[in-house]
Every structure is written in structure tokens, then in C-alpha cells.
Structure 1
Amino acid sequence: MGKLASDGFDPQAFLSRVGAGKTILKFEKNQPIFKQGDVADAVFYLQKGSVKLTVLSGQGREAVVGILEPGQFFGEGCLNGHPLRIATTTAMEASVVTSITKQAMIAALHSEPKFSKLFMAYLLTRNSRIEEDLIDQLFNSSEKRLARLLLLLAHFGKEGRPQPILLDVSQETLAEMIGTTRSRVSYFMNKFRKLGLISYNGKIEVHNSLLNAVLREKPEIEREDPSSAV
């Protein structure tokens, strides 16, 4: 019989501390957290840093399918019966991760409503993002997909001024995430800069004008290059 829920339960404290079935792990830049095909027996929560998710096809092609930031879970597929990892996760910078065994995760979800609510909110947000990404891939050009990705990475909309992209994301990674080549990304980035949609000041800064261009029915970013729908 599971323990009764505690009214004083703090989900963030639960996720940030070592406890039964929980371990705090530290990873250096480019260090894998788990690899595609590994046994799936734990859920992870990113406390600090950033994590890249990649998938390798049977033909040997690798694709970046997501970039995680603090406050996000990953590896939750084990809760749905996945015996093996379907993706590889790699730290993009020095990162701190909480590892929660499958058993401990299920127990917390059953006994702590506050934690269950937090995890459910994450799942709903992630599901909405996956749907938006699928629509983006199906109907938008690679140029417009890049513009949307830059806006997402900059968390645009939280402030009314240019927003820097704090993550160190290479053009190759951006290309893998939107399904095009690095040379195309380089071309689009230079084009965005010349149009005043982004700027470089140590970090890439995203301007209001990029959001306006994406929202227009015939965005300015697509007018000069008919071949951008790659």
C-alpha cells in the first residue's frame, strides 16, 4: 500500500534532492546521459544545463529531435512500457540531472498529487510542441522552420526586446533540427541578419521583426529566395 500524500510535499525539492530511488548526476559537455538501445529503467529531470536528443536511423543517419532546458523531464518512455531507449541524450554543456528509477517515479505519481500535476503539465506541453513541430515540418519551408526554431530557442514573447539565444547551438545542429543542410542554414542566418531580423552580439539575438515575418501570410524572409523550400 502506497504512503499517503503529504500536503507539504514540494515537487521541486523532491526533484532536486537525493532520496529513495533518486540520484543526482553531473555530466560534462558532450558526455552522453544514455544511448539509443540502452535499457530504459529510469526517468530523468534536468536541473541545470542543456541536453540534446538525437535519433540514429537504420541507414546510419542522425537527426536532432529536441533540445532540453532546465525544468524538463526526459526518458519517460520507460513508464509507457518501452524496454529500450529510442534516442540518445547528450549534455550540451555542464549539466546536473536527477535520475529517478521507474519504480520511484510511479510511486511518486500515485501518492503525490502535486507531483502528478507537475508531470502531467510537462506531458501536455510536450505533446503540443510535438504537434506544432509536425505541422511545421509538413507545411513550412526550411527557412520559415529555422525562423520558428530561433524564436523558440530565444523563448521569444517573454520580453518586449531582442532576446538572446543562450544555448551554444551550432549551425549543423540547427540544420539537423529543421531537416536541411548546414549550408542552407548559413545562407538563411546571413539573410536574417542583413534584413535586421537577428543580430550577433556574442550571442544570437532575435528581434521582434523575425516574429512579424513568420506571422505574415507572405513573410519577408521568403521573398528573396524561391529555392528556400528545401
Structure 2
Amino acid sequence: MNETDLQQLQRVTKSKRFDKGEFIFREGERSETLFVVNEGLIKLTKMSSEGKEQIVRLLFPGDFFGLFSILKNENHYVNAKTVGASTVICYIEKKDFLNTMEKNAGMSYRFLLAVNDRLYEADESVGFLSLMEVEQRLARALILFHDKMNAKNGTFTLPITKKDLAGYIGSTPESVSRKLLSFMSQKLIKMNGRRQIQILELDLLKQVSGIS
């Protein structure tokens, strides 16, 4: 965005810091706010009738959420919960958001492009869970973390627990552990402790994931 666009948004944007495990909102609640991740990581989840948590999406800095509620005037259909120790969320109230979009056609167009990208990612996620083997799903998740976290020398700290990672890719913690060991034996990745991962062969891991 240009400087004028930035100034317009800054005038109507506020921010708040959240601790680990705090809810931004819960499923069934209503808010008239657009949220944007500034720092940290957010997980969007749904609970099954048996009380099992399913991660619908992970949100990294720059990702926005809450759009469904402010445009449809309906309740949130997921929970939004912080993952890391310190998370900063920027937020814009509905009236300020719509007023800003109405006055700036260029910004509105760029926002539509961002929404289009999000729809594409949602379509990808459907195939991600239903059509791929666990090995492919895990490889894609590792590549996502690598790219989103700006890994240096291919190294990053796994931002979620293995239990959450298993929930995210629709598997079990035991299966995730076995596949990580398999990737290590193939020298695709290297692990230092339980959470630090270095991708040694990014191109080969992309082949495993099915990314062309």
C-alpha cells in the first residue's frame, strides 16, 4: 500500500496483546470486527460433538480473520485462539472498515484479491486433508512453516505441539512422530530437540508433498 492508504488504515486500527491460550472469540459469538495477526500465531478450531478439537486453519502475521461475521452479520463458526506466549492482534471495527473501503476503490480491489487468495487456500485445504496421504500432508505443513516463519538456513522452531500438528493434518501424534523419523532417515530434515527443525532438502520435500 502507498503512504496515504497506510495512514487511512492506521487512523482506524487498534491493537491488543494476548497471552498464550487466550480466545480472540469463540464459536457462536458475534463481533463486528476485522482482526489481523500482527505478531504470533492464531489457530482457528472447531469442536466435535465428542469434544475433540480440529484445527481448521493456522494464521500467521499478516493474515486476517473474522470477515464472515462482519459481512454476514452472523455468529462466528470457529474458535480463534492464540498459540504462542505473546500475540498481538490489530483490529478494525466494522463501521470504520466499510467506510474506509467505500472511500478507496484501489484498497477495496486489493482486499478482494486477498479474499480470493484465502478462498484458494481454503479449496487447497479440502484436498490437503481428503486426497493426500499423511506423509504428503506433513510435508506440506513443514513447508508452510518454513515459508511463513522466514526460516534462516532452513531452520525454524515448530510453532505448535505435535498434538496440534497432528490435528492440523488430520492424523495422530504417533503417526506424525513416525513420519518425522522417516524424513530424518531420508535426510530430508534434521531435528534438534523436540521442536527445532531444519529442512535439508527443500526441493525433495516438495516432491514428497506433491508441490510442483
Interval containing the TM-score (normalised by the shorter chain): 0.7 to 0.9
- Is 1:115 the counterpart of 2:107? The answer is yes
Corresponding residue for 1:4? none
Identify unmatched segments of 5+ residues in structure 2. none
- Whichever residue aligns with residue 123 of structure 2, its letter is E
1:87-109: CA deviation from partner (whole Å, max 9, x where unpaired): 11111221111121112111111
CA distance in 2, matches of 1:211, 1:33: 33
Corresponding residue for 2:83? 92
Corresponding residue for 1:183? 174
Corresponding residue for 1:39? 30
CA distance in 2, matches of 1:133, 1:43: 22
Corresponding residue for 1:10? 5
Greater shift, 199-208 or 29-38, is seen at: 199-208
Corresponding residue for 1:174? 165
Larger Rg: 1
CA distance in 1, matches of 2:172, 2:35: 31
CA distance in 2, matches of 1:114, 1:96: 27
RMSD: 2.5
- Is 1:137 the counterpart of 2:129? The answer is yes
TM (norm. structure 1) is: 0.79
Corresponding residue for 1:213? 208
* Kept after mapping to 2: 8 A contact 1:110/1:116: yes
CA 1:173/1:88 → structure 2, altered by over 3 Å: closer, same or farther? same
Corresponding residue for 1:124? 116
- Is 1:60 the counterpart of 2:55? The answer is no
Greater shift, 113-122 or 77-86, is seen at: 113-122
Instruction: Among all aligned residue pairs of Structure 1 and Structure 2, give the percentage whose two residues are the same amino acid.
Output: 25
* Kept after mapping to 2: 8 A contact 1:79/1:102: yes
Identify unmatched segments of 5+ residues in structure 1. 1-6, 218-230
Offset of residue 192 of structure 1: 0.8
Offset of residue 72 of structure 1: 1.1
CA distance in 1, matches of 2:173, 2:65: 27
CA distance in 2, matches of 1:171, 1:62: 14
* Kept after mapping to 2: 8 A contact 1:43/1:73: yes
CA 1:82/1:181 → structure 2, altered by over 3 Å: closer, same or farther? farther
Corresponding residue for 1:222? none
- Whichever residue aligns with residue 80 of structure 2, its letter is T
TM (norm. structure 2) is: 0.85
CA distance in 1, matches of 2:53, 2:59: 18
